[in-house]
Amino acid sequence: MSVTEKTGARTDEAAAVITGARERIDALDDHIIGLVQERMAVSAVIQESRIASGGRRVSLNREMEVLARFRDALGKPGTALAMTMLELCRGRI
Ligand SMILES: O=C(O)C(=O)C[C@]1(C(=O)O)C=C[C@@H](O)C=C1
């Protein structure tokens, strides 16, 4: 497959821009995945500590704060993103 086919570009110049930008996106995605995994580990510490003390796994008030932070920064899709992230961190409820 040619570079232009791979990128959807119609010129070599555009294909070069897209290829370079996709490398940056791949690096950013690796970083984001690493941060999500780090967040999952920190969240697990909180949940285990709360459960060990006799509390519940879930803190709905705190989840509302997390959802609001993402919504304020990213709009409605930010809420969906935060909900998926919370599901990764505490499982389905
Ligand atoms: O902040 C907490 O109390 C957590 O347990 C962490 C966290 C989160 O991942 O943000 C996970 C589960 C709770 O329902 C609320 C928030």
Query: What pLDDT digit, counting tens, does each position of 43-85 carry?
Result: 999 999 999 999 999 999 999 999 999 999 999 999 999 999 9
Task: Report whether residue 89 contacts ligand 1, using a CB cutoff of 6 Å.
Answer: yes
Query: What's residue 5's pLDDT?
Result: 85
Helices (H), 1-93: 3-7, 12-52, 60-74, 76-90
How many angstroms does the Cα of residue 77 sit away from the middle of ligand 1? 20
In this structure, are 85 and 47 located in the same domain? no
Query: What's the Cα-to-Cα distance from 56 to each of 49, 62, 67, rounded to whole Å?
Result: 10, 13, 19
In this structure, are 12 and 46 located in the same domain? yes
User: Ligand 1, closest atom to CA 62?
Assistant: 15
In this structure, are 34 and 78 located in the same domain? no
Q: Is the ipTM of this complex over 0.85?
A: yes
Q: Which domain covers residue 30, as residue numbers?
A: 1-55
Query: What's residue 30's pLDDT?
Result: 98
Cβ(85)–Cβ(73) below 8 Å: no
Tell me the pLDDT of the chain averaged across its residues.
96
For a pocket test of ligand 1, which of 53, 90, 92, 93 has the largest count of ligand atoms closer than 8 A to its C-beta? 90
In this structure, are 15 and 38 located in the same domain? yes
